Copies of this chain bind each other. A is one copy, B any other.
Amino acid sequence: MDFKSLAVQVLEQNRRALARALTLIENEDDGAIEILDYLFPNTGLALRIGITGPPGAGKSTLTNQLIRFFRQRNQTVGIIAIDPTSPFTGGAILGDRVRMNENALDPGVFIRSMATRGSLGGLVRQAQEAADLMDAGGLQVIIFETVGVGQIEIDIMEAADTIVVLAVPDAGDMIQSMKAGLMEIGDLFVVNKADLDGSGRMKADLEYALHLRESKPAWAPQVFLCESRKGIGIDRVVENIFMHIEHLQQTGEWLRKRERRFRQRVRKLVETKLNREFWNNGRKELLDRHLQNSGGHISPYQIADQLLSDSRFND
């Protein structure tokens, strides 16, 4: 396949080309890097929003409301729905099919689901790369939506400019222990299903937890009550997202975030390549031989040192 011409088609906002390029990323095809490299100068313009929270918090309902909002302003929207749970139960995100159908006829909306195929670290990288492709493909707003509240979801959120954390009144015990990481990354918080008992209490709890945050950032995250199914409270959430973006731009944090991501990307690429180069057949065999002969008396520290000792860099 001619990857460069596929990249050009992505740039020309050909949606079918975009879909094909995304598949290359998911398959970790070498062509994906060629395409990403080519498109890089055309990325960085899209607004990237992350939406996370426990299952059942209404993430896809909120996402749908955001789609509607941005479409009314004639902005194109790309959705990256990420399910890091294992492929063994299947990676389908509930409500995803419904959403697909709802927006099937609108060329201004592009939806892609991603699930785990190999490593979870790979999924984090792929989500970022997918966003770059959509960005280069002219989608103006990109929404990352994750299932669950684990570390992977938190890592994926690093690719977002603004992170919306959802909570539900009755999440109880479980969210309590998961909350720590989410409390730290959220730029705004939404207590969805505000009609349920305990929503006011949950809002107060979140506000108190935010108050306890040790690092007091320049931006003070707020907690909003919402009923996203009925569209109640969405306006204020969107307004706050824009306020946050404005804050990022005014304080220079917008550029710093992009720079951090760029650095991180370079570091990851270097790490992957160094490892791939290091573990040639010779070194793999050396490790195998060590394992067979040592009888458990040579420590991994010594073997690592031996393997490294004759492979210094040319500085």
Using a CB–CB distance below 8 Å, which chain A residues touch chain B?
33, 36-37, 40-41, 44, 54-56, 84-86, 88-89, 120, 147-152, 171, 173-181, 183-184, 213-214, 258-259, 262-263, 265-267, 269-271, 273-275, 277-280, 282, 287, 291, 296-304, 307-308, 310-315
Cross-chain contact A300 with B88 (CB below 8 angstroms): no
In the complex, which of the residues B40, B56, B86, B263 contacts A180, with contact meaning CB atoms closer than 8 Å? B86
In the complex, which of the residues B151, B174, B258 contacts A171, with contact meaning CB atoms closer than 8 Å? B174
Q: What are 20 pairs between A and B in contact, CB < 8 Å?
A: A37-B299, A56-B173, A56-B174, A86-B181, A88-B184, A88-B213, A88-B214, A148-B178, A150-B152, A150-B178, A262-B291, A266-B304, A267-B279, A273-B308, A274-B308, A282-B315, A311-B313, A311-B314, A312-B313, A313-B313
Q: A44-B296, A299-B41, A300-B40 are in contact. Are A176 and B55 (CB under 8 A)?
A: yes
Task: List residues of chain B with CB within 8 A of the CB of A148.
Answer: 177-178
**Most B Cβ at <10 Å: residue of A120, A184, A262, A299:** A299
Within the complex, what minimum Cβ distance (angstroms) separates A60 from chain B? Answer: 13
- Bound Cα distance from A152 to B175, whole angstroms: 16
In the complex, which of the residues B56, B271, B278 contacts A313, with contact meaning CB atoms closer than 8 Å? B278
- Bound Cα distance from A308 to B278, whole angstroms: 13
- Bound Cα distance from A248 to B18, whole angstroms: 48
Q: A263-B287, A313-B313 are in contact. Are A84 and B299 (CB under 8 A)?
A: no
